[in-house]
Chains A and B, each alone.
Chain A
Amino acid sequence: MPEQQDALKKLTSGDYKYGFASDIEADQAPRGLSEDVIRLISNKKGEPAWLLEWRLKAYQHWLKLREPQWQNLHFPKIDYQDIIYYSAPKPKKLLKSMDEVDPEIRATFEKLGIPLEEQKMLAGVAVDAVFDSVSVATTYKRTLSELGIVFCSFSEAVQNHPELVRRYLGSVVPYTDNFFAALNSAVFSDGSFCYIPKGVRCPMELSTYFRINAAETGQFERTLIVAEDGAYVSYLEGCTAPIRDKNQLHAAVVELIALDNSQIKYSTIQNWYPGDKQGRGGIYNFVTKRGKCKGSNSKISWTQVETGSAITWKYPSCLLLGDNSVGEFYSVALTNNYQQADTGTKMIHVGKNTRSTVVSKGISAGHGQNTYRGLIKIAKGASGARNFSQCDSLLMGDLCGAHTFPSLEVNEPTGQVEHEATTSKIGEDQLFYCRQRGLSPEDAVGLIVNGFCKEVFKELPIEFAVEAHKLLNISLEGAVG
């Protein structure tokens, strides 16, 4: 792939490529969190009373919770009263087309390479772009709506499909789930909503680009995807964020619901600002992602490529309730410089003959610390349930670390659980071998690392796989002495 290599060269020449901030007047809430702030958010969004009530309950619950302490992550205490919980570009009158979108916002999208343009329609990508906390543009709605597919911002869904939102919101990740999920439930500003009706196969990859923009603004996204009986959807989520000196908190919640014979494929490339080479700045990413295979023969696949953020705390999980349902988790997590990641999955087998696959690839370079944390639980009555887990760690240099904490709970005699784990170092031998064939050390490392991640990359939609490949190389810049 020479053109890819060329693009790489261009990209690797600088620091964090997506480090620019656009200057747009923000309409933001006062610093700190209180019932008033939550009311303000709800009011700004013109929400129905039941949703405000739900937010307030979440807030009351959050007040009783303490930040989790079990993760293998070290960071200074977060002052939750020193965060601005809502920020939006100044509301203008409703826009009829892209031409009416603020040129500066559009320019930002251009710089990010977000495919809002016509060509992308040919490429089959529909984009719901979330800029800061408010959706500014949604395309391809017509094509999708002809099929009965709803793909819109969360706020729009609250307005236009309140019955669906009310039925499913919090049904997979209740606000009582954990500290960060409670916080998100109280203050979430926007996100994406996707509904695929019975028997419909979504004809294109749905993708959403998130971007944190206003300085020191926490980002609290909420995503909800529902696949009705026999439906199929592949959803892509990609993130970039501008350089900031102060750490930024990000606490998203993603809920997936798969009914009988349906399938949801959820792919993520996470490239939030990781902090500088000394570990200053960077995003704190505390995410709760969970899918519920509610129906029989349903399937949920998570694929993630996590190269960004100073702190990653994330465990995309599957609740396998329906008989014969399938859960998958494919992950690449890379930590370079002073990045820390504590990530993994939970596969909870409840239905009969449920199956799950976990493939986790952790790469640590510089002073990076990478932890895999997984739970495989086979409940009593989940006869014939099977899991296979594979956790591989790759270390570059002597200053980084890889840690694995797998938990297995099997309460059903017919359940089968397999776990394989390896830890390896990029060897001098491999590097020398590649160099002896003419490859530069950077290309050699890129090749070896991408080879290591291949099992995960092949699960990604093709455009995403190419991007992931590039990202990995960029993120590893300077990792070889």
Chain B
Amino acid sequence: MSLLEIRDLKVRVGDKQILGGIDLKVEAGQIHAIMGPNGSGKSTLAHILAGREGFVPTGGSVSFDGKDLLAMAPEIRAREGVFLAFQYPVEIPGVSNKYFLKAAYNAIRKHKGLEELGAGAFLKLIKERAKLVELDPTLLDRPVNEGFSGGEKKRNEILQLAVLEPKLAILDETDSGLDIDALKVVASGINAMRHPSRSFVVVTHYQRLLDYLVPDVVHVLVNGRIVKSGDKKLALELEEKGYGWIEAQDRERVAQP
């Protein structure tokens, strides 16, 4: 059984059909990259998996760990092990990063029937994980994402990933807005979190993140459909030739009777 199995998923946002039938299978331990031009539906795919309001499935199914993902509330998906690293992490004034993470961590543990972790043990855990993403430990005491630089926000997302230890991590353009050094740090944090039972879906516009994070499968999303899948060489080919040729192929395919 695949960890994530998407079948013919169609999604509407407002009155616009964004995804027109996605099929995708992600096995445990794999990294899948979702690439594609702007507006192709990459972020929509990330958000529908996380359960964002306003993204309405109009057909198809998503099974996660054998369960119907689309039937779950967003917080249940999170507790079951779906994590979304946001493209634009949200600020929560007055709530310390540490407190927020602890609330999230214990909500997940409770869901699993585990005892909540005490303050001391939790502090030890996040300090250790903060090192992994080279996050300045003083940021743990600051309000969630408030006043963080772009790079700090992205690293903070990866810290949350490292603490919450999901089964499926969806990274939505985590590389956007990062300089090369920050990109390396983020990638090494993600690599450190690789595990035979953990899968990654990496949504990205550019392939440069994939220099550091080697995908098992690369998918190209155009106009709400996966039009091509391949190994990491496909990402390099896209880098070289852009998306135009694939879009042209797709138009031809659609035009054929």
Contacts and interface: CB of A to CB of B under 8 A. Distances in A.
Contact of B89 (A433, A453, A455): A433
Contacts of A429: 90
B108 A438 contact: yes
Most chain B beta-carbon contacts within 10 A, residue among A435, A440, A441, A443 = A435
Nearest to B81: A438
Contacts of A144: none
A448 B145 CA distance: 13
A300 B86 CA distance: 45
A432 B93 CA distance: 15
Chain A interface category by residue count:
20 to 34
B143 A451 contact: yes
A454 interface: yes
A68 interface: no
B104 A439 contact: yes
Contacts of B100: 434, 437, 447
Contact of B79 (A427, A428, A430, A438): A438
Contacts of B164: 437-438
A159 to B, nearest CB: 47
A451 B143 CA distance: 9
Given A432-B74, A433-B92, A447-B92, A439 B53 contact: no
B58 to A, nearest CB: 21
Interface string B100-123: 110111111001000010000000
A430 B164 CA distance: 18
Contact of B116 (A2, A448, A452, A454): A2
Contacts of B106: 2
Given A435-B78, A436-B78, A440-B75, A451 B108 contact: no
Contacts, number: 78
Chain B interface category by residue count:
20 to 34
Nearest to B89: A433
Interface in A415-429: 427-429
A428 B53 contact: yes
A440 B107 contact: yes
A454 B94 contact: yes
Contacts of B104: 434, 437-439
A454 B78 CA distance: 27
Given A2-B106, A428-B53, A451-B143, A435 B75 contact: yes
Given A437-B164, A439-B103, A451 B93 contact: yes
Nearest to A427: B90
A441 B83 CA distance: 17
A435 B74 contact: yes
Nearest to B146: A451
A138 interface: no
A450 interface: yes
B75 A438 contact: yes
Contact of B95 (A438, A440, A450): A450
Kindly list the 5 A-B residue pairs having the minimum CB-CB distance in the complex, ordered from nearest: A451-B94, A451-B95, A454-B94, A437-B104, A433-B90
Interface of B: 50-53, 73-75, 77-79, 83-84, 86, 89-95, 100-101, 103-108, 111, 116, 143, 160, 164
Interface of A: 2, 427-430, 432-441, 443, 447-448, 450-455
28 contacts: A429-B90, A430-B91, A434-B92, A435-B74, A435-B75, A436-B50, A436-B75, A436-B77, A436-B78, A436-B86, A437-B78, A437-B101, A437-B104, A437-B107, A437-B160, A437-B164, A438-B78, A438-B104, A438-B111, A439-B103, A440-B107, A448-B92, A448-B95, A450-B94, A451-B92, A451-B94, A454-B94, A454-B95
